[in-house]
């Protein structure tokens, strides 16, 4: 091909495409089927109102349980952040072990159900820095749940965290917001933060999401500049529920992400 081009032209222009641009182009093409899918916040609230919350698990998530030692790394009394927390029972499980938990969730119904279903009394107060937001605090456990849009939350409101459990969060936000999301999460990580991220791999041509497909290469491009990333676990997660969505495979990956030491 190069010879033919040489014969037909006076000059040959060699275009050097850097590896990083090729990787980015590859990610963009993998994400194309879901790139423009948008869930507005009201749709999440509707799901809560109609009890269409198939993502909620009544028991502690297996991937958190099996990797908790790697997250704690010998530490006690760790501050955990739960982005898009829903009413995950994992929050109580960690608080029962002496850790503190801060969650962010848009649905007030989800927040109230969390406390009520776990038999906890709670207080409720406005968050002056975020118009319309409230923070719900358990009276017995060290759990504070901010009812607001995640993108209105910041380290100036909640401080930084020693650990993050991200299940049903990066995979639930709109795909076009992933860079903004990653920048926010990185800003919430303390120097010793250990961020456990759960992602899903499937054929995005077959199902529109959420949950959305997040390839490992994108985890690398979102967090790899400032963080080290280790793939801790990869399991076949396909169930009849997912077959019903039309999926033919579903892999659940768990990554441990830690800030690079400078
Ligand atoms: C897929 S669910 C996962 C909930 C929880 N992490 C779990 O594993 O059960 C996503 C949750 O995020 C909430 N949510 C979606 N977008 C949000 C946003 N921008 N800010 C705050 N909460 C949001 C939804 O109401 C929903 O409860």
Ligand 1 centroid – CA 185 distance (Å): 15
> Tens of pLDDT along 119-130?
999 999 999 999
Domain locations in the chain as residue ranges? 2-259
pLDDT value of position 18: 75
Ligand 1 centroid – CA 212 distance (Å): 13
Regions of the chain where pLDDT drops below 50: 1-8
CB-based contact 62:236 (threshold 8 Å): no
pLDDT value of position 197: 99
- Does the pTM surpass 0.75? The reply is yes
pLDDT value of position 255: 99
| Closest C-alpha to ligand 1, atom 9 | 56
pLDDT value of position 166: 99
Q: Residues with Cβ within 6 A of ligand 1?
A: 41, 44, 55-56, 84-86, 88, 104-107, 110, 149-150, 167-169, 172
> Tens of pLDDT along 71-102?
999 999 999 999 999 999 999 999 999 999 99
Ligand 1 centroid – CA 42 distance (Å): 12
> Tens of pLDDT along 146-159?
999 999 999 999 99
**Under CATH, to which class is 2-259 assigned?**
alpha beta
ω into 156 cis (within 30 of 0)? no
pLDDT value of position 193: 98
């Amino acid at each position: 091909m190069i010879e033919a081009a040489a014969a037909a032209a006076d000059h040959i222009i060699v275009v050097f495409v850097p590896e990083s641009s090729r990787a980015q182009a590859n990610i963009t093409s993998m994400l194309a089927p879901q790139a423009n899918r948008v869930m507005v916040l009201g749709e999440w609230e509707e799901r809560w109102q109609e009890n269409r919350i198939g993502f909620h698990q009544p028991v502690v998530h297996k991937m958190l349980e099996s990797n908790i030692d790697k997250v704690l790394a010998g530490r006690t009394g760790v501050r955990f952040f739960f982005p898009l927390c829903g009413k995950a029972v994992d929050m109580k499980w960690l608080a029962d072990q002496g850790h503190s938990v801060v969650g962010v969730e848009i649905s007030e119904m989800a927040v109230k159900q969390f406390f009520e279903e776990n038999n906890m009394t709670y207080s409720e107060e406005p968050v002056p820095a975020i118009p319309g937001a409230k923070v719900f605090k358990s009276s017995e456990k060290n759990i504070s749940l901010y009812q607001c849009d995640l993108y209105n939350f910041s380290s100036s409101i909640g401080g930084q965290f020693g650990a993050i459990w991200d299940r049903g969060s990066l995979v639930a936000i709109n795909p076009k917001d992933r860079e903004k999301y990653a920048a926010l999460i990185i800003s919430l990580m303390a120097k010793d933060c250990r961020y456990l991220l759960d992602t899903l791999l499937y054929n995005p041509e077959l199902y529109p999401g959420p949950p959305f497909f997040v390839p490992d290469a994108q985890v690398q491009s979102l967090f790899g500049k400032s963080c080290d990333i280790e793939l801790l676990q990869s399991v076949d997660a396909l169930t009849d529920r997912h077959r019903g969505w039309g999926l033919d495979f579903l892999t659940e990956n768990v990554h441990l992400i830690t800030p690079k030491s400078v």
